[in-house]
Amino acid sequence: MFALEPLKRDPFDLQLSLVPMWDLRTGLVDGALIRRLGAPAEAEAADLEEVDVASFAYAAAILEGDGDARLQVPVSFVTLATQRARERLLRLTDSVRETMRTAVIIEIRDLDAVPSSRLMEVAGLVRGLCVAVIGRVRPSRAALEAIRGCGLRGVSVEAKWLGLQLSDPAGRMNAFVGAVRDIGPDIQVHDLPWAGMVDLAAAAGFSHATVAPEA
C-alpha cells in the first residue's frame, strides 16, 4: 500500500496489485495488469500524477526483479501530456528502460474529451519506451471516433461499462469488438464479473481479458 499526499488535497491510500492477463487467442496467461485501488472518485490532475508515479515505481521494482515479466501499466493521459510529470515517470524507470521496450504495454486512461491530435502526439512520445500503447475507453461513439487513427495498438474497456450484467452479455461484447476492430489488434476487457465470461469474450473476438478478483 502506498500512502500518497498530493499537494492541497487530502492524503489517500493507494493499493497496487498484479492481475493475471489472459491471452484469449492462446488460452494462456500472458503477463499481468497493474490494478490500482484507492484513488479519490473525483481525482484531480495532482492525484492522478501521484497514482501514476506510484504505478511506475511499482512497475520498475517488478521489472528489476523479473526481467521476463510482461506488464501492462496504466497511466492517465493528463500525466503523460505534462512534460514535468512525464519526466518524473521516465526518471523512475531509467534502470529498466531496455526491459520496458520488450516487456511493458502502456495503457493510457482518462481519455474522455481528449482531442485526437493531442492523443496522437502523446502516444508518439512514449511509443518508443514500450512494446505498445493502447487506450482505455468508454464505449461511446464519440470516444471511439476520438481515438481512431491515433497510432494506438488497440483499446481496452472495463466490463462494467459494457453492461454485461444487465442483459445479453455476448451481444454487448460482439457489438463493442465490431466497433473497435479497425483501431488495432489488441482489444481488451477488464474485470469480467465472473470467470465463465472469459469464454464469451474469446468468442466475441477480444484478444485479452482480466477477471475481477472477487470472481
pLDDT digits (tens, 9 = 90+) for 7-37: 556 666 888 999 999 999 999 998 999 999 8
Q: In the prediction, which pLDDT does 3 show?
A: 56
Rounded Cα gap, residues 79 and 204, in angstroms: 33
Q: What is the DSSP string of 136-166?
A: E--S-HHHHHHHTTS--SEEEEEHHHHTTTT
Grid cell, residue 199, equals: 469464454
Grid cell, residue 48, equals: 492522478
- Superfamily (CATH) of domain 2-158: EAL domain (3.20.20.450)
Grid cell, residue 29, equals: 496467461
Q: What is the pTM of this model?
A: 0.91
Instruction: Answer for the pair 180, 144: CB distance below 8 angstroms, yes or no.
Output: yes
Q: In the prediction, which pLDDT does 112 show?
A: 82
Q: Which residue in the block uniquely carries the three cell numbers 476520438?
A: 146
Can you state the percent helix, strand and coil of the chain, rounding each to 5?
A: 40, 25, 30
Q: Considering Cα of 99, then 103, then 119, then 21, what sign does the dihedral take?
A: negative
Q: In the prediction, which pLDDT does 39 show?
A: 75
Q: In the prediction, which pLDDT does 176 show?
A: 96
Instruction: Answer for the pair 35, 42: CB distance below 8 angstroms, yes or no.
Output: no
**Sequence spans of domains, the chain:** 2-158
Q: In the prediction, which pLDDT does 157 show?
A: 97
Q: In the prediction, which pLDDT does 42 show?
A: 74
Q: What is the mean pLDDT of each run of 10 residues along the chain (215 residues)?
A: 56 86 94 88 83 94 83 96 94 93 95 90 94 94 90 96 88 96 96 93 97 78
Q: In the prediction, which pLDDT does 65 show?
A: 85
Rounded Cα gap, residues 72 and 65, in angstroms: 16
3-state secondary structure of 71: strand
Q: In the prediction, which pLDDT does 66 show?
A: 74
3-state secondary structure of 207: coil
Q: In the prediction, which pLDDT does 63 show?
A: 93
